[in-house]
């Protein structure tokens, strides 16, 4: 080849190379292309455990991924108010027994089929069928039957008034599936295939590793309370399973994870000093308490229970154990439950008063105190709480021996009824948590306080079956007054909900229940 031809050939290669770069920069195909910045927008969220099964009907552990795969009849706004979802509106009969839901007419499942009343009926009928074995069946016990009125209207007929229906069907477990999904997809349903009408679709689930969802391009039925309408801005959500706490925290620092929903208070200061991270804090529906087996001596004596309540310095625990990230708990529900929370809780509650505690113990027949076993799981927070409780109780004459368990063994111990004093925390956004833990028919588990009390049963059942939400809330306030008087637990603290996101996560909106990624969340890509 002549020198002239070599030069021409070199020039041709150079032109082709530049042209290739230009094409690539313009987003010429591939899975990493297609967003505003020329790259796929992927948000990675870190979790400590994986899903059991991706089927809201059959699982007892609701992976966050299910929130985005499925829509529910009712949604919850940023103030935890009940708002339209797949149902654009609903009304209730005068006797409170018939709830009619009017479905939006443009919603479609991920397989392209429209969402109809038949799908709603199939979903709830399947949950209520004893042969399904749904853990959610008990929550829908008030439902007598579901009837189709027309293609986009469905009636839920109740056995008795149940104003908490909106809460129950707005939960993750209330996600609507296409009719006959089990017959259509067989054993693959919930593992390889999951069909919802939500803003994201299942791509793959690698068990023990990650769940990958991609946005539903056709999603155009966001509830009106959301600022963003239409398909999500983020192309993919990746739910990574990283069991080790320290590893999860490190991953968000180095960028392997973009967002963590539950951050231990011990990491907050460190994260707030990191310019690449933004810590988001807000009210939570969690409540930590010191419990006792109320059917065993000396805890079957209300004076002893009141003494324990006076022995615990809640303010000190919030300041030094929670590092000021949270507040004291004086009652049995967190204040975030505005309708149901008893306003005068703090006025009725037991203040830190070790001398009063000693007086009550003497009156109860324990002038020199007593000895007891104080049990806890071995998590960092709860084992630390056990030590603090031990020191505070010792000041009033109650000597305790701490016993720590792994989470599975701790649950087993409580089921077997071996507990005396023990450390607990719950997270739940509804007053029916009191039914779960304190009704006699929940004995011996999850009624681990072993509280079998006729008046509590009457108050709770009366409240739960009130004809209206307002009367229900009023009834649960009576429940709380009685529980405070009887000192059934020793409520201690309400932690804040702490989340951390990398700075590239844009348009972050705090939600007390679950982040609504479809409501304008975005992520910057390089």
Task: Tell me the three-class secondary structure of 217-267, residue by residue.
Answer: CCCCCCCCCCCCCCCCCCCEEEEEECCCHHHHHHHHHHCCCCEECCCCHHH
Examine the pLDDT at 26 and tell me if it is beyond 90: no
Handedness of CA 362, 366, 371, 376 (dihedral sign): negative
Examine the pLDDT at 25 and tell me if it is beyond 50: no
- Look at strands 74-76 and 82-84 and give their pairing: antiparallel
> What percent of the residues of the chain are helix, what percent strand, and what percent coil, each to the nearest 5?
35, 20, 45
pLDDT at 36: 52
pLDDT at 411: 87
C-alpha 343/C-alpha 341 separation (Å) is 6
pLDDT at 379: 86
Predicted model pTM? 0.81
- The kind and range of the H/E element at 75 are strand 74-76
**C-alpha 80: how far from chain center:** 13
Examine the pLDDT at 16 and tell me if it is beyond 80: no
Query: Which pLDDT band, with edges at 50, 70 and 90, does 225 fall under?
Result: very high
pLDDT at 343: 97
Examine the pLDDT at 73 and tell me if it is beyond 70: yes
Examine the pLDDT at 8 and tell me if it is beyond 80: no
Examine the pLDDT at 17 and tell me if it is beyond 70: no
pLDDT tens digits along 50-60: 998 999 999 98
3-state secondary structure of 283: coil
- The kind and range of the H/E element at 355 are helix 354-363
- A 10 A CB-CB count for 381 gives 18
Do 358 and 259 touch, CB atoms closer than 8 A?
A: no
- What does the mean pLDDT of the chain come to? 91
Examine the pLDDT at 24 and tell me if it is beyond 90: no
Query: Which pLDDT band, with edges at 50, 70 and 90, does 31 fall under?
Result: very low
Dihedral pair phi/psi, residue 54, rounded to 5° = -90, 60
Query: Which pLDDT band, with edges at 50, 70 and 90, does 338 fall under?
Result: confident
Has domain 199-282+498-523 been given CATH number 3.40.190.10? yes
C-alpha 142/C-alpha 122 separation (Å) is 17
Examine the pLDDT at 421 and tell me if it is beyond 80: yes
C-alpha 175/C-alpha 73 separation (Å) is 8
Domain boundaries, the chain: 65-183, 199-282+498-523, 286-495
C-alpha 304/C-alpha 293 separation (Å) is 12
Longest dimension (CA), the chain: 112
In angstroms, how far is the first alpha carbon of the chain from the final one? Answer: 43
Q: At the topology level of CATH, where does 65-183 sit?
A: Dipeptide-binding Protein; domain 1 (3.90.76)
- The kind and range of the H/E element at 214 are strand 210-215
| CATH code reported for the domain at 286-495 | 3.10.105.10
């Amino acid at each position: 080849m002549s020198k002239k031809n070599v030069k021409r050939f070199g020039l041709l290669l150079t032109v082709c190379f530049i042209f290739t770069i230009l094409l690539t920069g313009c987003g010429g195909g591939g899975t990493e292309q297609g967003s505003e910045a020329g790259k796929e927008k992927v948000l990675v969220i870190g979790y400590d455990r994986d899903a059991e099964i991706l089927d809201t009907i059959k699982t007892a552990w609701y992976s966050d991924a299910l929130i985005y795969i499925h829509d529910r009849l009712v949604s919850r706004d940023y103030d935890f108010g009940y708002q339209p979802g797949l149902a654009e509106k609903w009304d209730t009969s005068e006797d409170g027994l018939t709830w009619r839901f009017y479905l939006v007419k443009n919603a479609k499942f991920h397989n392209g089929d429209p969402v109809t009343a038949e799908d709603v009926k199939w979903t709830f009928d399947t949950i209520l069928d004893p042969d399904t074995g749904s853990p959610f069946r008990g929550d829908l016990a008030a439902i007598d039957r579901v009837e189709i009125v027309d293609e986009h209207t469905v009636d839920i007929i109740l056995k008795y008034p149940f104003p908490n229906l909106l809460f129950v069907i707005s939960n993750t477990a209330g996600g609507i599936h296409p009719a006959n999904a089990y017959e259509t997809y067989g054993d693959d349903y919930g593992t390889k295939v999951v069909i919802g009408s939500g803003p994201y679709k299942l791509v793959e689930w690698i068990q023990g590793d990650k769940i990958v969802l991609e946005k539903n391009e056709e999603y155009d039925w966001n509830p009106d309370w959301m600022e963003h309408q239409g398909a999500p801005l983020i192309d993919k959500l990746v739910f990574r399973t990283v069991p080790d706490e320290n590893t999860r925290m490190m991953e968000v620092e180095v960028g392997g994870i973009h967002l963590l929903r539950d951050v231990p208070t011990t990491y907050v200061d460190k994260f707030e000093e990191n310019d690449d991270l933004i810590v988001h804090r807000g009210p939570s529906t969690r409540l930590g308490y010191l419990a006792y087996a109320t059917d065993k001596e000396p805890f079957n004596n209300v004076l002893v229970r009141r003494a324990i309540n006076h022995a615990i310095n809640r303010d000190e625990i919030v300041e030094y154990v929670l590092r000021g990230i949270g507040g004291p708990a004086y009652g049995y529900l967190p204040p975030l439950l505005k309708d149901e929370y008893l306003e005068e809780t703090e006025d009725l509650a037991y203040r830190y008063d070790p001398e009063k505690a000693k007086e009550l113990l003497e009156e109860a027949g324990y002038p020199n105190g007593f000895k007891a076993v104080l049990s806890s799981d071995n998590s960092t927070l709860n084992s630390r709480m056990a030590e603090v409780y031990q020191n505070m109780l010792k000041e009033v004459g109650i000597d305790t021996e701490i016993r720590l368990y792994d989470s599975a063994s701790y649950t087993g111990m409580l089921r077997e009824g071996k507990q005396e004093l023990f450390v607990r925390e719950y997270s739940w956004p509804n007053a029916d948590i009191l039914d779960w833990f304190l009704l006699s028919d929940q004995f011996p588990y999850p009624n681990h306080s072993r509280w079998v009390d006729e008046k509590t049963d009457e108050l709770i059942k009366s409240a739960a079956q009130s004809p209206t939400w307002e009367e229900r809330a009023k009834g649960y306030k009576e429940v709380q007054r009685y529980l405070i008087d009887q000192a059934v637990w020793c409520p201690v603290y309400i932690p804040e909900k702490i989340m951390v996101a990398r700075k590239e996560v844009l348009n972050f909106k705090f939600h007390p229940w679950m982040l609504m990624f479809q409501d304008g969340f975005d992520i910057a890509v390089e």
